[in-house]
Amino acid sequence: MRFISWNVNGLRAVAGKGFADIFTDLDADFFCLQETKLQEGQIDMEFLGYRSFWNYADKKGYSGTAVYTKHDPISVSYGIGIDEHDHEGRVITLEMPDFYLVNVYTPNSQDGLRRLDYRMTWEDDFRKYLNSLAARKSVIVCGDMNVAHKEIDLKNPGTNHMNPGFTDEEREKMTVLLDSGFVDSWRLLHPEEIKYSWWSYRMAARERNVGWRIDYFLCSKDMSERIKGAGILNEVYGSDHCPVELDI
């Protein structure tokens, strides 16, 4: 079973850069999108053999998530059940027979870390949500989690220390999440490999591979032995992120 996750940084924009062909070529069982930047009815993009589910932010042109699936879920839920967090279209959960799939676009701490305090609250509440699911069945969580966990996960850790996405606080929250019962599928299979999933649009960062690994597939530890592959698809363009992949 193949899972793809991609922060498209505006689905309407990437639709004009070959998204339909990329989608078809990747041929995933589940294709999760973040930062769709859509409101309902703004795009008509369906694919034969797939159902789709969408979570839109209240604010126009902001955030948003979507999941395309070949497999009918038992149930679908939007958000994490906390009003403070559930107006930005950040989470979709599909319940499948033997696992939950959670697609997330984690809030960015923003310039000047002006949203770091909110991010810390989000992290605690989201971890509790995931753990409540994991108490019932296995969990796969994917998406742009807006943190480079270790120094190996970004090109310039020294100069980026305490910048958004590489603060001590954000990194520690990822450690706490993993310690609560999850594994980072990429690091499990590629413990020393350096590969990135996001590059700034500035200063030809992607051409120079000055990037960050901030897009993840995490799995509850009971799924570890089922992980057969984890990829970062650097050859796919169209966004400032590239897709990431999980095979179970």
- The catalytic site residues sit at 105, 144
169 Cβ contact list (under 8 Å, min separation 6): 116, 119, 120
The pairing of strands 138-144 and 215-220 is antiparallel
Cα distances from 231 to residues 9, 129, 130, 137, in angstroms, run 20, 26, 23, 24
Give the tokens for residue 38: 């859509």
Query: For residue 111, which phi and psi values (nearest 5 degrees)?
Result: -55, 140
The answer to whether the CB of 55 falls within 8 A of the CB of 28 is no
Give the tokens for residue 118: 């909110």
